[in-house]
Amino acid sequence: MVANKSVLLMPGDGIGPEVMAQAKRVLGWLQESKRASFAITEELVGGASIDAHGVPLTDAALAAAKGVDAVLFGSVGGPKWDKVPFDIRPEAGLLKLRAELQVFANLRPAKVFDALVEASSLKPDLVRGLDIMIVREATGGVYFGEPRGIETLPDGTQRGINTEVYTTGEIQRVGRVAFELARKRQNRVCSVEKANVMESGLLWRQVMTKLQQDEFPDVALSHMYADNCAMQLAKNPKQFDVIVTGNLFGDLLSDLAAMLTGSLGLLPSATLGAKDATGRLPGFYEPIHGSAPDIAGQAKANPLAQVLSLAMMLRYSFDMDEDAAAIEAAVERVLAKAGRTPDIAAPGRAVLSTTEMGDALLAELQAI
């Protein structure tokens, strides 16, 4: 089979390479079972790249990322690089990648697997069957807005500045992603901001309202303030279908939603751009967890978020819905019967290492 799908793997730091190794086995299974053929390359990123090249993202690695159909990313960062200057920190490599690839819509599903209902911090009946999608704007807002910095005032004290800024175009393009996703789900979008105290939030609300009227009248749109949304996610999360919000609120709300599902180690994400003239859609896929330095090198990391990120890659970059669903079903079956990694361990079940979790998953996939 001709390798017509190009994928760049960027394992990164800490548990990144450990969980990526299991995703690679799943890629191997896809190739061996002749479901697809990938041209796979690999690059350093984050602290690993700082150690080798002095920067968290080399020009060559960036060019490689721009040249492929999809990037599968692990995680970056760790105490070893905490004292590195801010602009060349491991995380700066990740932010630069997202900005340069022009991927602006971060999709974070929060889905509760039946076998893990008990792992949630909420009561089982509040989360059983939970399946929400948070669409977070990822290249704008306060993390990128200018002016920014720390300045010294005449009296010798200092002032730290960041700027929340959104344009009509930035809001529309992430809004379109949310509305289109909702059409394939329960057809409901909840747009989240702080229009009561922030002008950028007021504009966000106005643009979303007009976008829905002009282009998506068939999708139900509601609005919610971000602080209320945090409360509602903890109180009655199943009321939501698709939530669309800016960068900062999306960062917080998706971590809150993550905890509803019981483990960071199970949550994938996709960050998508706009289709170009040739129909190519930039896609960047990563687990939402970080490099987990506290468990790195101990074979304790749960590889499922990385594997589910791979499934999202199949679905959104390669239209391989069936294969994505097969991987998700295999994850569900592993959670239901096999042992588990320590983060989701349950009484009476074997505790598995990262590789053993990969073995269990591969066994399920091979049984298909």
Active-site amino acid positions = 143, 194, 227, 251, 255
Nearer to ligand NAD, 56 or 246 (CB): 56
Residue 293 found at the interface with ligand NAD (CB under 6 A): yes
* Residue 315 beta carbon to ligand NAD: minimum distance, rounded to whole angstroms: 20
Asked if 77 interacts with ligand NAD (CB under 6 A), we say yes
Query: Is 18 one of the binding residues for ligand NAD (CB under 6 A)?
Result: no
Stretch that binds ligand NAD, among 108-116, 160-168, 253-261, 289-297 (CB under 6 A): 289-297
Tell me the window of 26-34, 135-143, 241-249, 283-291 that interacts with ligand NAD (CB under 6 A): 283-291
The dihedral sign for the CA sequence 285, 288, 291, 297: negative
Residues near ligand NAD (CB under 6 A), total = 22
Q: How far is the CB of 319 from ligand NAD (least distance, A)?
A: 26
Site string for ligand NAD, 250-269 (x = CB under 6 A): --------------xx----
Would you say 225 and 253 are in contact if contact means Cβ atoms under 8 Å apart?
A: no
Q: Which amino acid, 99?
A: A
- Does 295 participate in binding ligand NAD (rule CB under 6 A)? yes
Residue with Cβ nearer ligand NAD (292 or 334): 292
- Whole-angstrom distance, CA of residue 226 vs CA of residue 260: 17
When asked if residue 290 is in the footprint of ligand NAD (CB under 6 A), the reply is yes
Beta carbon nearer to ligand NAD, 17 or 290: 290
Give the count of alpha carbons within 13 A of 130, CB side only: 34
| Sign (positive or negative) of CA dihedral 113, 329, 250, 300 | positive
Q: Does 145 bind ligand NAD (CB under 6 A)?
A: no
Token look-up 């967890």 returns 289
CB of 74 closer than 8 Å to CB of 53: no
Contact status, residue 184 vs residue 242, Cβ threshold 8 Å: no
- In contact, 152 and 158? CB cutoff 8 Å: yes
Site for ligand NAD (CB under 6 A): which residue of 200, 302, 309, 317? 302
Region of 104-112, 129-137, 298-306, 360-368 interacting with ligand NAD (CB under 6 A): 298-306
Report which residue's Cβ sits closest to ligand NAD: 290
* CB proximity list for 257: less than 8 A, separation 6 or greater: 108, 110, 132, 134, 233, 237
Q: What is the largest CA-CA distance in the chain?
A: 70
Q: Are 330 and 314 in contact (CB under 8 A)?
A: no
The token pair that represents 321 in the structure block? 């819905």
- Closest to ligand NAD by CB, 244 or 296: 296
Return the bridge partners of 190, or none.
222, 243
23 binds ligand NAD (CB under 6 A): no
How many residues make up the chain in this entry?
368
CB atoms within 10 A of CB 114: 10
Give the E-state strand segments of 235-307 in sequence order. 242-245, 268-272, 283-287
Residues ≥6 apart with Cβ < 8 Å to 368: 326, 330
Q: Which region among 99-107, 214-222, 277-285, 288-296 touches ligand NAD (by CB under 6 A)?
A: 288-296
**Taking contact as CB under 6 A, which single stretch among the options 29-37, 247-255, 291-299, 322-330 is the one that binds ligand NAD?**
291-299
Q: Which of 56, 78, 109, 141 binds ligand NAD (CB under 6 A)?
A: 78
- Which stretches of the chain bind ligand NAD, using CB under 6 A? 15, 19, 75-78, 91, 94, 264-265, 286, 289-295, 301-302, 305, 343
